Structure 1
Amino acid sequence: MSAVLTLNGGNFENQVLNAEKPVLVDFWAAWCGPCKMLGPIVDAVAEENVGKIVVGKVNVDENRELAIKYGIRGVPTLIFFKDGQEVKRVVGVQSKAQLQKLIDEVAAM
């Protein structure tokens, strides 16, 4: 079973906004080349940080309302949530080391 949740309008509030742990949400699209590069990195850090942070993905084409609500202008966009609030946002491909550094920063907040 994957450590990455598939998020949508039906489960976003419960899985992200009401989560007890920090949450990393990857807003992506199937047609997006950089998203395809980032996907395996997100999957890897999700596996390596089980219990520390929750990781989920939102397909912006299937969940336009969430993309609009969170002002997604380009993909991939990674948003970190803590206590139901956005605490950090990065746009574009991140290396595994960069992503781990962000996870550690958010978890320490």
Structure 2
Amino acid sequence: MTVATDFVRPVTGETFDALVGTRSGPVAVEFMSYGCEHCRLLEPVLQEVAETLGSQEAVFRVNIAVDQELAKRYQIEGTPTLVMLLNGEEVGRAVGPDPSVKVLWDAVTRPFEELA
């Protein structure tokens, strides 16, 4: 699937801490693999959620096949896994979320709403 605009920013082990770990405010990170069927199903929905969020939250993507150290650091056991961070600290997690806008929207935004 070709995405005209990618609203989910890819990060690697080299760029993660600078772009995600030290970022203030809410961040969602998708840990995925390009060989994962559930990840492919989730992709267009995640793009829609990321586009809707705009500047409210940042959505990033980590390919665990390439960045296994990040997967170990965040104890990722399956894909897709969404990890929500606030000021660099994990505040929520969704493993294998249903690829619907409502479920994904709730998974990404609820941890931040609960802290407010």
TM-score with structure 1 length normalisation?
0.92
Amino acid at match of 2:30: D
Confirm or deny that 1:92 pairs with 2:81.
no
RMSD (Å), alpha carbons: 1.3
CA distance in 1, matches of 2:16, 2:77: 19
Aligned residues: 109
The equivalent residue for 2:56 is 52
Q: Deviations over 1:54-99 (max 9, x none)?
A: 0000000000110111111110011000011010011113321012
Q: What amino acid sits opposite 2:15 in the alignment?
A: N
Aligned residue for 1:66, secondary structure, equals helix
Alpha-carbon deviation of 1:39? 0.9
Per mean C-alpha deviation after superposition, the further-off stretch among 24-33 and 87-96 is 87-96
- Quickly say closer, same or farther: Cα 1:93–1:106, change in 2 above 3 A: closer
What percent identity do the matched residue pairs reach? 32
Q: Which moved more, 1:96-105 or 1:4-13?
A: 96-105
User: Which ranges in structure 1 are unaligned for 5 or more consecutive residues?
Assistant: none
Question: Of 76, 91, 110, which residue of structure 2 is paired with 1:105?
Answer: 110
Higher relative contact order (CA 8 A, sep 6+): 1
Alignment of 1:21-60 (within 5 A): 21-60=25-64
The answer to whether 1:62 aligns with 2:66 is yes
- Residue of structure 2 aligned with 1:71, choices 54, 69, 75: 75
